[in-house]
Amino acid sequence: MQTVADEVGVSRSTVSNAYSRPDQLSPELREKIFDAARRLGYAGPDPAARSLRKGRVGAIGVLFSATLSYAFTDPYAVQFLRGLAETAELHDTGLLLMPLAEDATAAAAAVQNAVVDGFCVYCLPDWHSAQAAMRLRKLPVVSSERRDAGDPEARFVAIDEAAATLAAGRYLAALGHRRIALIADWIVPERETRPVATARPEDVPYYVSRERLAGYRDAFAEVGVEWPEIATVNAAQNSRAAAAQAASCVLDRAPRPTAILAVSDMLALGVLDALHTRGLRPGRDVSVIGFDDIPDATTAGLTTVRQPALEKGRQAGALLLNPPEDLAQRQVVLPTELVVRASTGPAPDA
């Protein structure tokens, strides 16, 4: 096969330089090489070969536990990804989306074979086989959860989940709410919508739900409402429909809770749907609180905990692509804020 180097009568190094280090050769020669390349249909250095040689791929793997469509259905996720993409673009890096199959072996294989420079873990349950597979790769990993904080090498950009719901819970407790229901996804690993009375927060396998539930537990414990008195319902997934169904489990039996607390706005909106169906008034008959502060929360008048999704994504990207020397600075905790709207109010029986 006729190579560009042969055609021009130079060495392969020189052709390589023409593409990657223009300052290393004369402009005329460079042009001559490009000419020949065009003639021969050579498109420039092969990215795979270049990756092997340079040890850099130009892509980071984004791990999802869910299907793509769930991931992108949640505006919070979209904002996070957008921030990540912004930073990635600055570093000439693409995002390799890796929706992980249910099949643990397949998921681990996907992680093992991913052609990436690092991983961004987002919404991945602790028990997932991909977690272990990632560690093996010895690539940098950044998490959007406060994970392995004990490990000084761990990188994350997180929020203080438990503190956020502690504050939200105290606010509700102060309003007099004592009959409480919590709705979360992955309280149990099964994807079923049903009450899961026995679980303690510590038993919840999914970090985010675990922490947020713990915050609520602590808040209500302060006013004498113990954990077993609080109804907990597992949502099959982080969707409005699942949450509406979950809400049914507690709304359709007496005594009805005076407040329903969801670990995400998507879930909280579903709770509002369930109230609406029953002619119940949010903030009057039943208070509802969410988490994230997605745009629809404003429209719906949903009280919620705001977290900086976009900024989380941006900083996650930076932690991966341009990590600070100081290890401590690789563990970022961003602030949250309780945003009170119309969906919460004094407990009706207070």
Partner DNA sequence: TTGAAAGCGATACCAT
Partner DNA sequence: ATGGTATCGCTTTCAA
Q: Which residues bind DNA (CB under 7 A)?
A: 9-14, 16-17, 19-21, 23-26, 29, 44-46, 49-50, 52-55
Quick one: what does residue 11 bind among DNA, a copy of itself, none, with the CB cut-off 5 to 8 Å set by partner type? DNA
Q: 41 vs 255, which CB is nearer to a copy of itself? A: 41
Q: Look at the block and give the residue holding tokens 């537990």.
A: 217
CB of 73 to a copy of itself, least distance (A): 7
Q: Total number of residues binding a copy of itself (CB under 8 A)?
A: 46
Q: Is the dihedral of CA 286, 248, 290, 299 positive or negative?
A: negative
Q: 100 vs 289, which CB is nearer to a copy of itself? A: 100
Assigned token pair, 133: 């597979």
d(CA 188, CA 166): 22
d(CA 284, CA 275): 11
Per the CB < 8 A criterion, the answer to whether 250 and 179 are in contact is no
**Contact set for a copy of itself, span 94-133 (CB under 8 A):** 94-99, 101, 106, 109-110, 112-116
Quick one: what does residue 277 bind among DNA, a copy of itself, none, with the CB cut-off 5 to 8 Å set by partner type? none
Quick one: what does residue 89 bind among a copy of itself, DNA, none, with the CB cut-off 5 to 8 Å set by partner type? a copy of itself
Binding mask 150-189 for a copy of itself (x = CB under 8 A): ----------------------------------------
For the chain, the straight-line distance linking the first and the last C-alpha, in angstroms and rounded, comes to 85
Per the CB < 8 A criterion, the answer to whether 174 and 186 are in contact is no
Q: 12 vs 135, which CB is nearer to DNA? A: 12
Sole binder of a copy of itself in the list 22, 44, 228, 324 (CB under 8 A): 44
Report DSSP state, residue 188.
Answer: S
Sole binder of a copy of itself in the list 11, 13, 48, 337 (CB under 8 A): 48
List phi, psi (to 5°) of 101.
-65, 160
Is 57 one of the binding residues for a copy of itself (CB under 8 A)? yes
CB of 116 to a copy of itself, least distance (A): 8
Letter string b/e over residues 195-223, b meaning 16 or more CB atoms within 10 A of that residue's CB: ebeebebeebebbbbbbbbbbbbbbbeee
d(CA 160, CA 154): 16
CA 120 from centre of chain? 9
For helices 12-20 and 27-40, the axis angle rounded to 10 degrees is 100
CB of 56 to DNA, least distance (A): 9
Assigned token pair, 313: 């994504």
Q: 15 vs 230, which CB is nearer to a copy of itself? A: 15
**Contact set for a copy of itself, span 200-219 (CB under 8 A):** none
d(CA 110, CA 167): 39
Q: Look at the block and give the residue holding tokens 């009568």.
A: 9
Q: 21 vs 191, which CB is nearer to DNA? A: 21
β-bridge pairing 155-159 and 331-334: parallel
CB of 207 to a copy of itself, least distance (A): 24
Quick one: what does residue 25 bind among a copy of itself, DNA, none, with the CB cut-off 5 to 8 Å set by partner type? DNA
Sole binder of a copy of itself in the list 16, 73, 129, 237 (CB under 8 A): 73
CB of 49 to DNA, least distance (A): 3
List, in order, residues 6 or more apart from 81 with CB less than 8 Å away. Answer: 62, 71, 72, 95, 122, 313
CB of 61 to DNA, least distance (A): 17
Report DSSP state, residue 249.
Answer: H
CB of 41 to DNA, least distance (A): 12
Per the CB < 8 A criterion, the answer to whether 267 and 290 are in contact is yes
Contacting positions for a copy of itself (CB under 8 A): 41, 43-44, 46-52, 55, 57-59, 61, 67-69, 72-73, 78-79, 81-82, 85-86, 89, 92, 94-99, 101, 106, 109-110, 112-116, 136-138
